[in-house]
């Protein structure tokens, strides 16, 4: 068998040829495979979407919340991934799913608009569906050329984006630390004036005070006791208390005050003038007080809402 090396050579040449032909065929008919191969060879074209583009701002978030669970880095059903612009434009096992400019020719759009009962409908029955507005956003984007560069404002008639509210995770240790410097003062005042002083929330060191339920027993002397907290109080309800314009300096010292309620008190114009330096003030209530309408004009000009000055009893 002297010709064995030659026949072995011939055989392995054939095997290489057949294998190459097989790979070529697979690359032609299996786009996902083609992309895998190109990725390995570092020859893949990886188009990027621009940061301020319509795609990044409006389209990608829809895929992120509705599709990427199955078509993302954890799972690639149908060998389709939607977690980047490049991967989306590659398409899946059966090729491109987006035909730029042609909504009707886009497999992705066909799937997301099928009735829920359809086997091929996406997201599949039981998963949270895309809303009408989501579908409009995708349709407008494909129709406009499915570009990754088109700026977000270029598509004028797009529905407003949906905002999902994330409630921040509070850090008890951090809150504890922020509260610590004045914690003793707060505790003492809480004991002295039950129910009148509380933190605005569990994740904050800011405070709000409400003396409105104590009636006439709460006056200047009591209000002054809250002075150590002057930079922490955001909301003060002094309605129905015994305070008068004499309390103005204390109120003016509460630099971060946002809401001030002085209904049914004897405060008058002087207090309104004293509020001028309060930068964060949003609203003042003077219903049933002695504040004349003219005294609140300046506050209103600053955009502060003043309640009740026109209806003084």
Instruction: Tell whether residue 165 is a contact of other proteins (CB under 8 A).
Output: yes
Applying CB under 8 A, which part among 74-82, 97-105, 223-231, 290-298 lies near other proteins? 74-82
Stretch that binds other proteins, among 96-104, 199-207, 223-231, 246-254 (CB under 8 A): 199-207
CA distances from 239 to 7, 95, 139, 261, 262 (A): 104, 69, 55, 6, 5
State yes or no: residue 28 binds other proteins (CB under 8 A).
no
Stretch binding other proteins (CB under 8 A), from 95-103, 131-139, 145-153, 271-279: 131-139
Q: Say how far apart CA 215 and CA 192 lie, in whole Å.
A: 16
Q: Which position among 102, 176, 192, 224 is part of the footprint of other proteins (CB under 8 A)?
A: 176
User: Does 179 interact with other proteins (rule: CB under 8 A)?
Assistant: no
Rg of the chain, C-alpha, whole Å = 34
- Beta-carbon contacts of 242 under 8 Å, excluding residues fewer than 6 positions away, are 216, 217, 218, 219, 220, 265, 266
Q: Does 195 bind other proteins (CB under 8 A)?
A: yes
> Which tokens belong to 51?
């940061």
Cβ 209 to other proteins shortest distance, Å: 11
Contacts of 301 (CB under 8 A, 6+ apart): none
Given a contact cutoff of 8 angstroms between Cβ atoms, the answer to whether 202 and 174 are in contact is no
Distance between CA 167 and CA 274 in Å, rounded?
37
Backbone angles phi, psi at 39, to 5 degrees: -60, -45
How near is the Cβ of 15 to other proteins at its closest, in Å? 5
> Residues 7, 48, 188, 280: which binds other proteins (CB under 8 A)?
7
Q: Which of 133, 143, 229, 269 binds other proteins (CB under 8 A)?
A: 133
**Helix orientation angle between 4-29 and 31-41, rounded to the nearest 10 degrees:** 120
Contacts with other proteins: how many residues (CB under 8 A)? 55
Q: What token pair was written down for 254? A: 């509460």
Among 56, 106, 241, 287, binds other proteins (CB under 8 A): 287
Considering only CA atoms, which of 294, 303, 255, 289 is closest in space to residue 273? 294
Quick one: which of 42, 115, 164, 217 contacts other proteins (CB under 8 A)?
Answer: 164
Give the torsion sign (CA, 227, 281, 210, 185): negative
Residues 210-239: x where in contact with other proteins by CB under 8 A, - otherwise, as a string? x-xx-------------------------x
Residues 242-271 that bind other proteins (CB under 8 A): 259, 261, 263
Q: Does 15 bind other proteins (CB under 8 A)?
A: yes
Cα–Cα distance measured from residue 52 to residue 64, given in angstroms and rounded to the nearest whole number: 17
Question: Residues in the site for other proteins, rule: CB under 8 A?
Answer: 1, 4-5, 7-8, 11, 15, 19, 69-70, 74-75, 77, 124, 128, 131-133, 160, 162-165, 167-168, 170, 172-173, 176, 194-195, 198-204, 206, 210, 212-213, 239, 259, 261, 263, 283-285, 287, 305, 307-308, 311, 313
């Amino acid at each position: 068998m002297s010709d064995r090396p030659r026949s072995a050579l011939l055989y392995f040449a054939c095997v290489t040829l057949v294998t190459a032909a097989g790979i070529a065929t697979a690359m032609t008919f299996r786009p996902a495979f083609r992309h895998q191969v190109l990725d390995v060879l570092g020859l893949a074209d990886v188009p990027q979407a621009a940061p301020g583009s319509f795609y990044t701002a409006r389209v990608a978030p829809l895929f992120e919340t509705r599709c990427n669970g199955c078509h993302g880095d954890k799972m690639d059903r149908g060998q389709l991934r939607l977690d980047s612009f490049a991967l989306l434009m590659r398409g899946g096992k059966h090729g491109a799913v987006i035909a730029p400019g042609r909504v009707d020719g886009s497999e992705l759009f066909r799937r997301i608009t099928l009735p829920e009962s359809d086997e091929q409908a996406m997201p599949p029955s039981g998963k949270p569906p895309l809303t009408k507005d989501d579908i409009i956003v995708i349709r407008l984007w494909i129709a406009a050329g499915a570009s990754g560069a088109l700026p977000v404002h270029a598509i004028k008639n797009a529905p407003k984006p949906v905002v999902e509210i994330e409630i921040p995770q509070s850090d008890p240790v951090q809150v504890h630390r922020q509260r610590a410097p004045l914690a003793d003062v707060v505790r003492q005042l809480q004991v002295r004036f039950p129910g009148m002083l509380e933190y605005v929330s569990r994740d904050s060191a800011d405070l709000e005070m409400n003396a409105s339920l104590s009636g006439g027993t709460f006056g200047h002397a009591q209000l002054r006791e809250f002075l150590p907290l002057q930079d922490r109080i955001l909301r003060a309800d002094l309605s129905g208390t015994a305070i008068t314009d004499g309390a103005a300096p204390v109120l003016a010292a509460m630099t971060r005050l946002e809401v001030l309620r002085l209904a049914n008190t004897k405060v008058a114009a002087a207090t309104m003038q004293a509020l001028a330096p309060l930068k964060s003030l949003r609203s003042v209530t003077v219903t049933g007080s002695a504040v004349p309408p003219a005294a609140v004009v300046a506050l209103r000009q600053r955009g502060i809402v003043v309640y009740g000055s026109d209806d003084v009893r």
